[in-house]
Structure 1
Amino acid sequence: MIVHNGFENLEGIKNAVVTIGTFDGIHLGHQEIISRIIELAKSINGETALVTFWPHPRYVLSQNSDEMKLLTTFDEKAEILSQLGLDHIVRVNFTKEFSQWTSEQFIQRIIISALHTKRLVIGYDHRFGKDREGGFEHLKQHSGRYGFEVEEISKQTIDDVGISSTKIRNAVEAGKVELAHDFLGRFYEINGKVVGGDKIGKTLGFATANIQIEETYKLIPADGAYAVIAEVNNQQYKGMLNIGFRPTIDGKTKKIEANIFDFNEDIYGEKIKISFIKRLRDEVKFDSKVDLSNQLQKDKERALQILNLHRQKQ
């Protein structure tokens, strides 16, 4: 898959079959659209492209943009789309100036002139252009003049899936990572870098990898303990992870700490991917570090039961 930064110098996309959207999370509803454009591209010996916007339009247009977190960073989104079989991502820089483009400007400059689109597929009730003026009816009415065919994923299909990025964000914020999995068709994940910590976990018998997430807009699940799969250097390991302030040791800042089972390598500075399998419990303040250590042992035993069952289902 090729990521194009901007649309100004696009070339070489053959018989482009295109869709449009932010596609945060690449949930099952988004996957319906990607599957459809792949199917159409095969029928005309073409290539698929998603026109997406970065930063997310709400970060540019909303006064409360700091409150909004995203399910996927751009790199995560690109990796998932590549795995789904998409050929091209066209990343359009979303600015206030761009937000003033009319739907006709958007169609003429990007869909027609830049991409030479043969087929355009949009989700039910998708709107675009200034004041969200553009939509399926307009596209259908003018498709002859535009020179491409247009298709809308039906309301029934979208309703059957019953998914929105907002629903998934609400699930993740509540720690309901299993529900998020059902909506996404995969486990919710975070990607970060392993950084040095205070090594308190090691004194408790549970050494942890402290994870730093560089993208401040990335949605982090609710505080608490989770059973997880950790991926380091393309190898997967069972583990458990805590998100929170570590009240038993009077933690002052929120941390994300993973205890990777049967693992003792030095991975400082390495990239790590965490897949959330199930929430184990809330973060709790214990009476002593001994009590905390005993609870961590119970957490590990439960996490192993969950992760072994997960592996059997695969």
Structure 2
Amino acid sequence: MKTIQGISQFKSSISTAVTIGTFDGVHIGHRKILERLINDAKTAGHKSTVLTFFPHPRMVLQKDTEIKLLNTLDEKIEILKSLGLDYLIIHPFTKEFSRLSATEFVRDILVNTLNTKRIIIGYDHRFGRNRNASIQDLIGFGNSLDFEVEEIPAQEIDDVSVSSTKIRNALLEGDIATANAYLGYPYTLSGTIKAGKGLGKQFGFPTANIHIKESYKLIPKKGVYVVKGTLDSSEYFGMMNIGSNPTVSGKEQTIEVNFFHINADLYNKSVQVKLLHRLRDEHKFDSVEELRKQLEKDKQKSLQLIDEHYA
């Protein structure tokens, strides 16, 4: 997959099959459209192309909206790359871009720049200034500008019964099982390991403190999770706490992972952590010793689940 930053950087005389959207989460509903795009493009001799936008349009048009996203941009690129697309075009979303009329968007971008011969899109897709054009308008443009429109009907998308919003809500409620089922893969946090206070090490549970630079990344509900992390291309199981460590009078939210079976200097390493199972809420214990005993129980439960379901 070739990733292109900005529509104007797309240079190809080869015809394309295109789908358009933010694709936050690249969940199982999105994949129905993407799989059809890739298959249809191969059959017709086109290049499969996703046109997406960053920042998310709601970040630009509704600045008071504190929207959190399921993927960082790098995570989304990695997932889309694994699907076998030919091109991913990431276009900067601005207020000026949002003011393009439907005619300008279709004629100048889809046809004259991307050389689009086929568009595969969901039945409820809207586009153009104020989102005032529908898929019926797109079909009309196709008839006059020589491209086909394939509509993904309501029953196919609704059968999946999944949306990025439903996944965000599940994560915020701590329902990692539902979120992972809708995503089709474990929810992932990506960041850099930074030095923490070292409190975990004092009672036998050294932790990697994960810093996520993207403030828009959704952090699931506080609590303890079974996880699998990737460090230096190797995978390690562990347990992760999202919370403020109230037993030791913590104030700020942290993301800390106790990796099992690893003893190395992890500072400043990049890490990806997949959330597999939620064990419990975060609690304030009466003493550090009570916390230590609970962490031991958490570890044994984690190891049991890993052995039974994830090893």
- TM-score range (shorter-chain normalised) is over 0.9
Q: Give, in whole Å, the separation in 1 of the partners of 2:141 and 2:51.
A: 20
Q: Give, in whole Å, the separation in 2 of the partners of 1:168 and 1:127.
A: 22
Q: Give, in whole Å, the separation in 2 of the partners of 1:68 and 1:271.
A: 25
Deviation, 1:294, is 0.5
Which residue number in structure 2 is paired with residue 2 of structure 1?
2
Within-5 A mapping of 1:185-196: 185-196=184-195
Match status 1:14 vs 2:14: yes
Is the contact made by 2:243 and 2:282 (CA closer than 8 Å) also made in structure 1? Answer: yes
Q: 1:229 to 1:150 in 2, by over 3 A?
A: same
Deviation, 1:310, is 2.2
Q: Give, in whole Å, the separation in 1 of the partners of 2:232 and 2:151.
A: 41
Is the contact made by 2:172 and 2:220 (CA closer than 8 Å) also made in structure 1? Answer: yes
Which residue number in structure 2 is paired with residue 148 of structure 1?
147
Is the contact made by 1:124 and 1:154 (CA closer than 8 Å) also made in structure 2? Answer: yes
Which residue number in structure 2 is paired with residue 307 of structure 1?
306
SS in 2 for 1:60: helix
Within-5 A mapping of 1:1-314: 1-12=1-12, 14-65=14-65, 67-311=66-310
Q: Give, in whole Å, the separation in 2 of the partners of 1:13 and 1:305.
A: 55
Deviation, 1:84, is 1.0
Q: Give, in whole Å, the separation in 2 of the partners of 1:268 and 1:63.
A: 35
Q: Give, in whole Å, the separation in 2 of the partners of 1:13 and 1:234.
A: 38
Q: Give, in whole Å, the separation in 1 of the partners of 2:214 and 2:225.
A: 21
**How big is each residue's C-alpha offset from its partner over 1:140-187, in whole Å with a ceiling of 9 and x where there is no partner?**
123121111111111011110001100000001111111001101101
Is the contact made by 2:12 and 2:114 (CA closer than 8 Å) also made in structure 1? Answer: no
Deviation, 1:92, is 1.2
Q: Give, in whole Å, the separation in 1 of the partners of 2:304 and 2:31.
A: 31
* TM-score calculated relative to the size of structure 1: 0.97
Deviation, 1:13, is 6.3
Deviation, 1:9, is 2.9
Amino-acid identity (%)? 46
Amino acid at match of 1:231: T
Is the contact made by 1:120 and 1:148 (CA closer than 8 Å) also made in structure 2? Answer: yes
Deviation, 1:210, is 0.3
* TM-score calculated relative to the size of structure 2: 0.98
Is the contact made by 1:20 and 1:52 (CA closer than 8 Å) also made in structure 2? Answer: yes
Q: Give, in whole Å, the separation in 1 of the partners of 2:246 and 2:184.
A: 34
Q: 1:238 to 1:13 in 2, by over 3 A?
A: farther
Q: Count how many residue pairs are aligned between Structure 1 and Structure 2.
A: 311
List gaps (5 residues or longer) in structure 1.
none
Q: Give, in whole Å, the separation in 1 of the partners of 2:141 and 2:16.
A: 18
CA RMSD in angstroms comes to 1.0
Deviation, 1:12, is 2.6
Q: Give, in whole Å, the separation in 1 of the partners of 2:18 and 2:281.
A: 44
Of the structure 1 ranges 158-167 and 7-16, higher mean CA displacement relative to structure 2 is found in 7-16
Q: 1:269 to 1:174 in 2, by over 3 A?
A: same
Deviation, 1:236, is 0.8
Is the contact made by 1:15 and 1:41 (CA closer than 8 Å) also made in structure 2? Answer: no
List gaps (5 residues or longer) in structure 2.
none
Is the contact made by 1:199 and 1:207 (CA closer than 8 Å) also made in structure 2? Answer: yes
Deviation, 1:46, is 2.1
Q: Give, in whole Å, the separation in 2 of the partners of 1:310 and 1:111.
A: 46
Q: Give, in whole Å, the separation in 1 of the partners of 2:114 and 2:162.
A: 29
SS in 2 for 1:72: coil
Amino acid at match of 1:290: E
Q: Give, in whole Å, the separation in 2 of the partners of 1:92 and 1:72.
A: 16
Is the contact made by 1:60 and 1:96 (CA closer than 8 Å) also made in structure 2? Answer: yes
Q: Give, in whole Å, the separation in 1 of the partners of 2:282 and 2:123.
A: 41
Runs of 4+ in 1 over 6 A off after TM superposition: none
